[in-house]
């Protein structure tokens, strides 16, 4: 019992260090940082035409998918892909914007040709080889 009473202050210090080390640390963001990120999100969304299918990840780690509708100075709206309802969000609430694979809306065309360049290069090489063999 005497050993316990002599180690009591040391155990208290160790316990305090343990609790301090494993205490949850909150990541505080300044208003300037949030405003800068909101401007980046607004600039990124301005590059997409209306009807572009987007995948949005928010600061609270929730996600939504839908087509881009209107942009304003403080917020933007999308048509939700699940509910087909129009939703408005603030730029500051969005953590990440990713372009989806599908376009929705009038005038939206998916123009992705993944094999076009390799086919053109291979065709050019074959044509060059045919010309070289024909001139021999």
pLDDT tens per residue across span 52-108: 889 999 999 999 999 999 899 889 999 998 888 999 999 999 999 988 766 555 555
Residue 27 pLDDT: 55
pTM listed for this prediction: 0.54
Phi, psi of 24 (to 5 degrees): -65, 135
Q: Which two tokens stand for residue 85?
A: 């309802």
Where exactly are the structural domains of the chain?
Answer: 30-109
Answer yes or no: are the C-beta atoms of 105 and 86 closer than 8 Å.
Answer: no
Question: Regarding predicted confidence, which is higher, 28 or 114?
Answer: 114
Residue 59's CB: how many other CB atoms inside 10 A?
Answer: 13
Task: Please write the tens of the pLDDT for every residue from 17-61.
Answer: 555 655 555 555 688 888 898 999 999 999 999 888 899 999 999
Enter the CATH code of domain 30-109: 2.30.30.100
Answer yes or no: are the C-beta atoms of 78 and 87 closer than 8 Å.
Answer: yes
d(CA 34, CA 29): 7
Answer yes or no: are the C-beta atoms of 103 and 57 closer than 8 Å.
Answer: no
């Amino acid at each position: 019992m005497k050993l316990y009473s002599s180690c009591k202050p040391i155990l208290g210090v160790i316990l305090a260090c343990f609790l301090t080390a494993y205490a949850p640390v909150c990541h505080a963001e300044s208003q300037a940082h949030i405003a800068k990120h909101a401007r980046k999100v607004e600039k990124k969304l301005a590059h997409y035409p209306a009807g572009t299918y987007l995948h949005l990840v928010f600061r609270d780690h929730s996600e939504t998918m839908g087509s881009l509708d209107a942009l304003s100075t403080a917020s933007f709206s999308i048509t939700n892909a699940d509910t087909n309802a129009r939703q408005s969000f603030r730029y500051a609430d969005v953590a990440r914007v990713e372009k989806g694979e599908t376009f929705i809306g009038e005038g939206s065309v998916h123009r992705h040709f993944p094999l076009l360049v390799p086919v053109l290069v291979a065709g050019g090489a074959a044509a060059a080889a045919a010309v070289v063999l024909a001139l021999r």
